[in-house]
A and B are shown apart, each in its own frame.
Chain A
Amino acid sequence: MDLGAANFKDNVGKALADDKLQNAMTETGPRFIYKRTKAREALPEFDQLRDQARDIKDHVLDHLDIYLETYEAKVKATGGYVHWAETPDDARAAVLDICRKANARMVTKGKSMISEEIDLNQHLEANGITPVETDLGEYIIQLRNERPSHIIAPAVHLTRDQVEADFRRVHTHLDPKRDLTEIPALVEEARAVLRQKYLTADVGITGANFLIAETGTSIIVTNEGNGDLTQTLPKVHIVLASIEKLVPTLEDATTILRVLARSATGQDFSNYTTFSTGGRRPGDPDGPVEYHVILLDNGRTNVLGTEFQDMLRCIRCGACLNHCPVYNAVGGHAYGWVYPGPIGSVVTPALIGIENAKHLPNASTFCGRCEEVCPMRIPIPKMLRHWREKEFERHLQPTSMRWGLGLWAWMAKRPKLYRKATALAARVLANQAFGKGRLKKVPLASGWTEFRDMPAPQGKTFHQLWKERRS
């Protein structure tokens, strides 16, 4: 597990200086926002559906033990297997065991964040099994040995010319003079390369957007159809899911699906929404013979019943990333682990520990757009504040910040001194601006003034104005 999540500050510096990344982010960021807005406007019931989606998940979380048991029983009844995994180690071992029993040498993979969370690819490779990512974005970043930089658009940080260079580097069996200047040519090449992989893979591994307790069903949602080829052609299908993916019924899954694609890509519905229940039935001429589900906890049960429980409603649509000014400025890799953006800053400390994710709760301007667009109405800013409190309690903040806050608190408890000091500071700073209203340098505030001018205080302090207006 790389714990770059603790290096957010350094990562940000690098991201801001990376011209290619900045180009990619400037191009794509606004498109996501535009598409979601259009989809939302086209469905008058959208916000009501969000309320219902939230209520469904809350109900599930309050009855999670019963839903898990019910789901497991149903999967077994339909001929599938459920493997419970407390830790990433357990999950990796379970997957490897299934692959070994199937004598697997190559496995195809649909997009799965749980796979990232448990670092499955490295584990399979270390054990002589070749994993092949089939979602185009995931395929690209696998070639680059990178993590996804976005939950639903893993290669959003890359530009076309970077992808071309990677394809030329890896697809050496193809004509070096072929024309790859247009994006469709790149897609066509990936299609041809991956088609052969689907047909020869021994095991197909997918994630799960939802698990349905009523029927023992797992759901995947894709636009490419890669998840379907991955799970339909090999003889074994493994589903990677975490325990909070449960929903009660087909109807409940349907309601949440109505808000998922709209929030994610601005589509009314994804191209392929697939419901899988067990392995091949008598008479089935295709489909996997074996069907396995890995049910991962990895710290989620620690979140239940706490002030952070609401994060378990997340359906990984990525809307909060798309609307976040911080994410759009620095991209997903700066967050240093699997889940980037606002929801990542909430989830990462919960899963790998706040001590390994410090700074992430501060990667927010608290503008509130993440909560505003969240289809599951997760109060992300509130939870970031809770994490900041934990950081403070555990002395994880930088010394300068603790000192600053300590000094401020000392002053704030002495109102007379506070008023005098602020009035003096305001006067001094106003003088320093020489009537220009801007300050190019302020002692102890170079972090601000290195990049922009500080507006100079003008006239009276807030306290003085307040007093005047009340009298």
Chain B
Amino acid sequence: MSARETILGRVRAKLPKGPEGARREAVELHMAQHPRNLIPARGQGDIDHRIRVFTEMMLAVGGTVEIIDDINEVPHHVAVYLRDGNLPAVVRRGSDPLLAKLPWHRGGTLEVTEGPAVDADRASISHAFAGVAESGTIVQISGPENPTTLNFLPEAHIVVLESAALFASYEEAWSKLRNSMGEGNMPRTVNMISGPSRTADIEQTIVRPAHGPKNMHVIIVR
């Protein structure tokens, strides 16, 4: 007998006895309905509230946030951010259409490279799939548009978050994902990111960064 059969057999022998059909139905129903459990009140409210809570939470974990009204201003803000952080005026992005059509020349000498991140990259920019106010969390999905390595290899990770995608809770981000990919389907990777990389493994002392980015900068576009 294979390990699979042995393990499943043991599980079945130990579980409460009941009509097999009913047990299967209960599981299938639960997965089909995927009901939401209790959602904390903290993030819930209008967009001003969500921006306020998101900003508060992101600052608390060592990230930074700026709020702009015009998406075409992003290149300028990226250039200023890199300059202020003493970083070279080079930023890596994926093929994300929203980022691709930005007027990058407004960033002055800012150079934009395309593709997944490499070790030498100092800064990257991603277009957030969603933001979650509740804990100041950015949700990224893998793919050529916003490659996963952009989230982890560079020293500074800049994220553009449109206010329409700034939700109260994770559950709303899941709804958006189900709508775009279909029930039960996931991209290869979904990254929920709440602030820059940190560790407290030596004497419980918080140090940033550990292995990932040192800075996380979120530009919220109203």
Instruction: State the A residues within 8 Å of B (CB).
Output: 24, 27-28, 31-32, 43-45, 48-49, 52, 56, 59, 62-70, 72, 74, 78, 84-86, 90, 134-137, 140, 153-156, 158-160, 163, 183-184, 186-187, 191, 194-195, 198-199, 213-217, 223-226, 228-229, 232-233, 243, 248-252, 254-255, 257-258, 265, 267-281, 283-287, 295, 297, 301-302, 304-306
Contact = CB atoms under 8 A, between A and B. Distances in A.
A68 B4 CA distance: 10
Contact of B27 (A67, A194, A279, A287): A67
Nearest to B18: A62
B195 interface: yes
Nearest to A68: B8
B211 A224 contact: yes
Nearest to A28: B204
Interface string B1-18: 011101110111011100
Nearest to A64: B11
Nearest to A82: B4
Given A271-B193, A278-B188, A49 B212 contact: no
Nearest to B141: A275
A195 B196 CA distance: 16
A278 B136 CA distance: 27
Contact of B152 (A70, A154, A187, A232): A232
Contacts of A154: 201
A68 B195 CA distance: 34
Contact of B3 (A86, A271, A280): A86
Contacts of B16: 62, 305
Given A224-B197, A255-B38, 19 more contacts: A62-B16, A66-B23, A68-B11, A136-B201, A136-B210, A214-B34, A217-B186, A248-B27, A251-B171, A252-B37, A271-B61, A271-B195, A272-B193, A278-B188, A297-B10, A301-B10, A304-B11, A304-B15, A305-B15
Given A137-B201, A160-B202, A191-B211, A84 B188 contact: no
B212 A285 contact: no
Given A31-B204, A187-B210, A281 B11 contact: no
A84 B171 contact: no
Contacts of B24: 66
B63 to A, nearest CB: 10
A285 B144 contact: yes
Looking at chain B's contact residues, the main secondary structure is loop
Contact of B37 (A70, A216, A255, A305): A255
Contacts of A232: 148-149, 152, 189
Contacts of A67: 27
A403 B88 CA distance: 76
A470 to B, nearest CB: 46
Contact of B194 (A248, A254, A269): A269
**Which residue among B6, B24, B38, B192 has the maximum number of chain A CB atoms within 10 Å of its CB?**
B192
A49 B14 CA distance: 28
A84 B151 contact: no
B113 interface: no
A63 B27 contact: yes
Nearest to B36: A251
B114 to A, nearest CB: 10
B170 to A, nearest CB: 5
A45 B36 contact: no
Contacts of A223: 197-200, 210
Given A137-B201, A213-B31, A284 B37 contact: no
A257 B174 CA distance: 14
Task: Report which residue of A48, A65, A191 has the largest number of chain B beta carbons within 10 angstroms of its beta carbon.
Answer: A65
A274 B189 contact: yes
Contacts of A275: 186, 189-192
23 contacts: A24-B203, A56-B37, A63-B27, A67-B27, A86-B3, A134-B211, A135-B201, A187-B199, A187-B202, A199-B119, A213-B31, A224-B197, A225-B211, A225-B213, A229-B212, A249-B31, A254-B37, A255-B38, A272-B194, A272-B197, A279-B188, A284-B144, A285-B116
Given A268-B135, A272-B192, A48 B202 contact: no
B40 A43 contact: yes
B212 A272 contact: yes
B152 A225 contact: yes
B193 A276 contact: no
A252 B33 CA distance: 12
A160 B41 CA distance: 40
Nearest to A153: B201
A347 B41 CA distance: 36
B147 interface: yes
B135 to A, nearest CB: 4
B218 to A, nearest CB: 14
Nearest to B40: A45
Contacts of B30: 59, 248-249
A232 to B, nearest CB: 5
B211 A274 contact: no
B35 interface: yes
Contacts of B12: 65
Contact of B6 (A86, A163, A199): A86
Contacts of A251: 34-37, 171, 174
Contacts of B197: 223-225, 271-272
A270 B94 CA distance: 25
Contacts of B8: 65, 68-69
A252 B117 CA distance: 33
Nearest to B31: A214
Given A63-B23, A191-B209, A155 B201 contact: yes
B51 to A, nearest CB: 17
Contacts of A158: 202
A269 B31 contact: no
Contact of B202 (A163, A195, A216, A252): A163
A272 B4 CA distance: 32
Given A215-B185, A271-B197, A276-B188, A183 B205 contact: yes
B33 to A, nearest CB: 9
